[in-house]
Amino acid sequence: MTTSSRPAYPAGTVITGKWHNNRFVIRRVLGQGGNGIVYLVHKAGYRNLYALKMGYDTLDLQSEINVLTSLQSQSRRQDGLKGSFKTPFLLEVDDFTGMGKEVPFYVMRYIEGNPIHHFIRRRGEEWVGITGLRLLEKLTGLHRLGFIFGDLKPDNVMVSDYGQVELIDYGGVSKIGRSVKQFTEWYDRGYWNAGSRSSDEAYDLFAFAVLMIQLLNEEGLKAACAQLLPQTRNRSELLNLIGRSPKLKPYALWLRKAIQGEFSGSREALAAWKQQIYAPAVSGRAPGKTPRWLINTFAFSVIMLGAAVYFVFFK
């Protein structure tokens, strides 16, 4: 993420929308990136928490808003989509007059959690299989709507304490068939001279594979990037890395296919990932397969989360 330190509004500041007149009270800064500042807010008079993104540049934020609006209207039209693509992510779009100028902002669902690399560091590498699965499901949902995520990187993947995965920062989302809008070197197919920067499902799958390599062998990935010149960088470096890393072994078949662009699409890739992580672990031959206790723990966490939501909202 590009971090710039622009002045942020302090806690307690009330952001009043020019057009809808809704008032949002800032609690704290959640994060700051190249496109804007994201605040944790609550709507005045209510307890529910939201994330409010204030853009530096009207055009950049507007294109992000257009993508979110389009995603939302398409997911409403498509039946059969599960999970967060059915629950609205974008809640409000407005302008705010502050510090002598008009600033665009939008309000979205607050995603409570930690970026995936922090989550894995804290909870252990055996969580890679299951969080990877949840992330692939999100990407597949987006692909079904006709978009690719584009700028897939650990900072844009949040994982809750219950192991649920959410994508944030839709600034890099583009329609399938167009050019990739925003990318980050390591995860970019073009950076590895492994394909074009056109928006296809394989682009996201490539980035997903690099992200998995990073989660399980960051040092190896760093070394590969540091040693190579831009013109000598190529996918065989990644393939070698996959072959050399014992921790990547259980995922090697899948990762190779994604790096070589051999999946017909994300649905096939998702099915293959599922098969790989749910295959019975053969002691000594498949280190790192998602253990049965973890699958059960994850299922239990989801049930507990459902129960907690039920008691908070319906009791």
Ligand X SMILES: Nc1ncnc2c1ncn2[C@@H]1O[C@H](COP(=O)(O)OP(=O)(O)OP(=O)(O)O)[C@@H](O)[C@H]1O
- Kindly tell me the burial class for residue 140, based on how many C-beta atoms sit within 10 Å of its own C-beta (0-12, 13-18, 19 or more): buried
CA–CA gap between residue 315 and residue 232 (Å, rounded) = 61
b/e map 244-258, b = 16+ CB within 10 Å: ebeebbbbeebbbbb
Q: C-beta of 111: minimal distance to ligand X in Å?
A: 4
Report the SS3 class of residue 32: strand
- Is residue 104 within the footprint of ligand X (CB under 6 A)? no
Nearest residue (beta carbon) to ligand X: 33
Q: Mask: binding to ligand X, 23-42, rule CB under 6 A, as x and -?
A: -------xxxxxxx-x----
Q: Mask: binding to ligand X, 40-79, rule CB under 6 A, as x and -?
A: -----------x-x--------------------------
- Is residue 258 within the footprint of ligand X (CB under 6 A)? no
151 in active site? yes
- Is residue 202 within the footprint of ligand X (CB under 6 A)? no
| Catalytic residue, candidates 151, 188, 200, 204 | 151
CA distances for 184 relative to 70, 134, 158, 192, 207, angstroms: 24, 22, 17, 12, 9
Q: Which DSSP category does 80 fall into?
A: T
User: Could you say which of 133, 148, 168, 180 contacts ligand X (CB under 6 A)?
Assistant: 168
CA atoms within 13 A on the CB side of 288: 15
User: Could you say which of 155, 175, 197, 295 contacts ligand X (CB under 6 A)?
Assistant: 155
* Residue positions forming the annotated binding site: 53
Positions that interact with ligand X (CB under 6 A)? 1-2, 30-36, 38, 51, 53, 108-111, 155, 168-169, 171
Point out the residues that are catalytic: 151
